[in-house]
Amino acid sequence: MSLEIPAAWLPLVIFCARIADVSLGTVRTIAVVKGRTLIASLLGFVEVLIWVIAVSNVVNRLDQPLNLVAWAAGFAAGNAVGIAIERRLALGDLVMRIISANGRGDKVAAFLREQGQPVTQFEGRGRGGPVQLLYAVLDRADAPRLERLARAMDPDCVLVTEDARKVSLNLRPTMTPRTGWRGVLKRK
């Protein structure tokens, strides 16, 4: 299935098609890792459709080296674009650990709870003595906001985040309601 594209435009079309299919592939891979079956399947369908059209145009015109350069450059650019898209979408959940010393942990935890963020508190011991360990499960999109809130209460706190593969329903964060397209993307 080779679309008839004028030879002068073909490298640009191949470049753009590769950006599209590799970007979709990057987001699809992340959706697979996060267990988002429906979105991963739909993205995979569109990704392969674009790839087949692009590769057929390259293979049918191997005598034009600029097409191969466009293929490789589109692949490289597609990775960067895919990562940028994934960061903007901020799919998934995080566990944020906030380590607070100097007796500020209780204030940080109370403030975050007032803002609608569930927090679990532990006592710990750090290099300089007793610390409060705060654990919060949140949407990735809420991470910058939660970091600002925690730092507003304790500028010296240590923040560590990691991806959460699965979160039970009773721990769902309440900071950002799931509406619109973000609510649809969250469904498995």
Question: How does residue 89 score in pLDDT terms, banded at 50, 70 and 90?
Answer: confident
> Please, what sign has the CA dihedral across residues 171, 139, 151, 115?
negative
In sequence order, which residues have a C-beta less than 8 Å from that of residue 67 and are 6 or more positions away? 10, 11, 14, 57, 58, 61
Residue 4 pLDDT greater than 60, yes or no:
yes
Helix or strand (DSSP H, E) at 135? strand 129-139
Question: Assign residue 116 a region: left if phi > 0, alpha if psi is -120 to 50, beta otherwise?
Answer: left
Look at residue 188 in the predicted model and tell me its pLDDT: 47
Mean pLDDT taken over the chain? 85
Is pLDDT of 112 > 60?
yes
pLDDT confidence bin for 186, thresholds 50/70/90: low
pLDDT for the residue numbered 44: 94
Least confident of 20-24, 130-134, 155-159, 174-178: 174-178
pLDDT for res 166:
74
Task: Decide: pTM greater than 0.85.
Answer: no
Q: How confident is the model at residue 61 (pLDDT cuts 50, 70, 90)?
A: confident
Average pLDDT over residues 25-32: 90
pLDDT for residue 66 is more than 60: yes
**Euclidean distance between CA atoms 104 and 87, whole angstroms:** 31
92 pLDDT tier (thresholds 50, 70, 90): confident
pLDDT, mean of residues 82-90: 86
- If you count them, how many residues does the chain have? 188
pLDDT (mean) for 121-140:
91
Topology (CATH) of 93-186: Alpha-Beta Plaits (3.30.70)
- Collapsing DSSP to helix, strand or coil, 176 comes out as coil
